[in-house]
Every structure is written in C-alpha cells, then in structure tokens.
Amino acid sequence: MTSQLLSGATGVLALADGTVLQGIGVGATGDAVGEVCFNTAMTGYQEILTDPSYMAQIVAFTFPHMGNVGTNVQDIEQMSGAAETAARGAIFRDVPTAPANWRSDADLQTWMARRSVIGLAGVDTRALTRRIREQGMPHGVIAHDPQGRFDLEDLIAKARRWTGLVGLDLAKDASCLQPFVYDEGLWNWPEGYAQPLPEPKYNVVVLDYGVKRNILRALTSIGARATVLPASTSAEDVLARNPDGILLSNGPGDPAATGAYAVPEIRKLVDSDKPVFGICLGHQMLSLALGARTVKMEQGHHGANHPVKDLTTGKVEIVSMNHGFTVDRDSLPAPVMETHVSLFDGTNAGVALKDRPVFSVQHHPEASPGPTDSLYLFERFAGHMDAAR
C-alpha cells in the first residue's frame, strides 16, 4: 500500500528503523538502497558523487548550498562509466541552485538524472548528521517520484533486508576489466590538464580497486607512466611488467572481503622489495598484508577538511577522507610503524615499513576534492623509486 505523505513531498529517505524523512526529489527517479553517511566538504560535490569509494552509499552533504558551480565532464573521478560504481544517492539541505561557473556544462540536477543518481532536498541535514554521529551510519533507501507515490512500508523493508558493507567485495565491480595506460596530468590554471613527459621517469603499475582519475593524474605529474591493471591481477603479472613502483588504489567495500584475493598478492609485492604506495582501501589491504586488522567504523570519515598529523615530519595537514573501515592501530605488528594519525578521533591514517620502501595512507592525497596538503606523498613515492634504482 502507499502510505500518506506530507503534501508536496516528491522524495523520501526511509531508514531501516522505520524513520522516514520527506522532502523534494531531485535528479534521477526511482529508489536506491545503501549506507547513509555524511560528508562535511564545502566544495567538490561532483568529485564526491563520482568517487568509486562511495559505491553502495548515500551521501548527505552537511554544507547547505550545492550546485552553484554546476558540473562538467572533466571533474568526474570514476574511471568506469557505470553509474552504480559510485554514490547511489545524495541528500541536500536546499534544492541545488542554478550553476554560475565558466567550466559548467550542465546543472547538478540534470547531471544527476543522466547518471542515475537519486537526490533528496529540503530535509534537516543537521539533524540527520547528528543522528549518524550518535547512532552510526544506517541502512536506508532514497526514493524520488515526481507524483509523490511511495510505498513506505516496502521501502523500509528494503532497507532492513540490505545486508550492508561488512563482508562485501565491491572492488571487483569498480575495477577496470582490461589494462590501460593513463596519460593526463594535474590541472593548472590557465593551461588545463598537464601533458605527460615525452620520456616518463618511472614505470608505475596501479592495481585498480576503484581508482580515482586524479590519483592517476598525480602519478603522471611526477613523471610516471601509469599502467592500470584489474583488481584481480596476480603479483606475478604485476612484476612481469618490471615496474619501478606499485600503487594500491582507493576503492569501495570491506577491505577484508576484497583482501581474500588481493592480500596474498600484495604480500608477494611487498616481498619483491619494489616501492609500494597504498591509498585508502589500498592502505587498509596493505595493512592486512602486513599483519594488522581492519574494523568497521560507526560514522566513518567523509570530508575534505580532516586534520591529520604526519608523525614523520610533525606537520599537521588538512586532507580529504572517505572511508567507513579503519586499520586497528593496536593490531599493527612490530615491523610496521604508524606514520599518520587522525586528529579528529586518533584513528590510524598511515603506516610504513621501517626496512622497505612500502607505505600507505588512509586519506586521499590527490586532493579531488580537497586541499593539496598531501600531494607531497607522490613525491615521497618518487623518492622511493629513485632510491630503489
């Protein structure tokens, strides 16, 4: 049956505990199930909604005004063209505004509809954020029907049936199917995206668990030829390409689930003494390969304004975060040292081996979206590759 809604409601968020938030539907129509998280970034909504790390999640933006810079084809982060390999939905305080930016080629609502991203506006995102902070990230269904017809009982039941992210390997769906070489550098005003060096300095293999374009651009900008391989690639196939370094990318899902096939290969890569750099999911699975544990977080870290301390330099940097699992710092074995820590809650944000050129960070140093404080990590990776030669 169709339950009664407030007059004018064309969008809803139905949570597994029976809570229903009503508002204005935007973007695509239909419904989608996922884990509801909040993101505290003030900019970069397009990069956030196309980040494969948000696969199977519904993102509530704490900043009230979205849409003012529109969207464009350059700021899409996912490599896969499939809409389901990024965020399933978005929640806004206000209806997205009309764009006013010279780079825009579409407004946010139209872009969301084209990409099958369901949106809900006109809800109290502060109250939703407070709920997530106190009770954790709930399972929910976001729905949009211009006629305002919703079977709320069915939507709530769908949210309850969803099993969640624990035990879910999503990297296999977010990963590329065939190897490819990426040859675009970071964006700079007024030139645009940089061109690769005529003769690359480094040959880097990227294991794609849901890699972001700007990570590949950052590699190109340090002089690397970035060859991207599927998540299931064996260590033998990686090493057969004689890389100067190996990057373990970001991605969605439970690191322990993806690690069932990825971690044994990562161990072999570590044992090869090649420089290894892990980011986000890559950091978590590298930590698993080194003997640590990962655990599900209650609220996760999602935003472009998170303070992290680099324990190797003593400096504090503001970074982009997007993760719902974390490395249990108490489980780090003796050969592993903690290199970065979140100043929000003290959770681990980076590790390194003392005797090998192997390191990783939980945050997103490619700065898309977010500040460029952590771009130095790509130079650190380049330094490891220089030393290994």
Mean pLDDT, the chain, rounded, equals 95
Rounded-to-integer distance, Cα 104 and Cα 385, Å:
38
What local confidence, expressed as pLDDT, does residue 7 receive?
66
Contacts of 183-190 with C-beta under 8 Å, sequence gap 24+, read: 183/220, 183/225, 183/226, 184/213, 184/216, 184/217, 184/220, 185/217, 185/220, 185/221, 186/214, 186/217, 186/218, 186/220, 186/221, 187/74, 187/217
Q: Are residues 207 and 136 in the same domain?
A: no
What local confidence, expressed as pLDDT, does residue 37 receive?
98
**Does residue 83 surpass a pLDDT of 90?**
no
Rounded-to-integer distance, Cα 298 and Cα 296, Å:
7
Once rounded to an integer, what is the mean pLDDT over residues 355-380?
96
**Does residue 302 surpass a pLDDT of 80?**
yes
Q: Are residues 196 and 294 in the same domain?
A: yes
Share of the chain above pLDDT 90, in %: 93
Q: Are residues 180 and 283 in the same domain?
A: yes
**Does residue 177 surpass a pLDDT of 80?**
yes
Catalytic residue among 35, 139, 366, 384: 366
pTM for the structure as a whole: 0.96
Q: Are residues 152 and 216 in the same domain?
A: no
Q: Is residue 6 part of a domain?
A: no
What local confidence, expressed as pLDDT, does residue 5 receive?
63
What local confidence, expressed as pLDDT, does residue 8 receive?
84
Lowest mean pLDDT across 1-5, 203-207, 242-246, 354-358: 1-5
pLDDT per residue as tens digits for the range 118-137: 999 999 999 999 999 999 99
**Does residue 90 surpass a pLDDT of 50?**
yes
**Does residue 264 surpass a pLDDT of 60?**
yes
Q: Is residue 346 part of a domain?
A: yes
Which of 132, 161, 190 terminates a domain? The answer is: 161
Catalytic residue among 265, 280, 306, 363: 280
Q: Are strands 202-208 and 11-15 parallel, antiparallel or unpaired?
A: unpaired
pLDDT per residue as tens digits for the range 145-162: 999 999 999 999 999 999
**Does residue 375 surpass a pLDDT of 60?**
yes
Catalytic (active site) residue 280: yes
Dihedrals phi, psi of 233, to nearest 5 degrees = -60, 140
The enclosing domain of 116 has a CATH number of 3.50.30.20
Rounded-to-integer distance, Cα 9 and Cα 21, Å:
10
- For residue 313, what pLDDT band results from cuts at 50, 70 and 90? very high
Q: Are residues 264 and 134 in the same domain?
A: no
Q: Are residues 195 and 153 in the same domain?
A: no
The boundaries of the domain holding residue 98 are 11-161
Report the first-to-last Cα separation within the chain, whole angstroms: 68
- For residue 1, what pLDDT band results from cuts at 50, 70 and 90? very low
Once rounded to an integer, what is the mean pLDDT over residues 315-335?
97
Structure tokens at 16: 């597994």
**Does residue 80 surpass a pLDDT of 80?**
no
Once rounded to an integer, what is the mean pLDDT over residues 345-352?
98
Which of 128, 161, 194 terminates a domain? The answer is: 161
Rounded-to-integer distance, Cα 181 and Cα 205, Å:
9
What local confidence, expressed as pLDDT, does residue 193 receive?
85
How many domains in the chain? 2
Catalytic (active site) residue 366: yes
The enclosing domain of 307 has a CATH number of 3.40.50.880
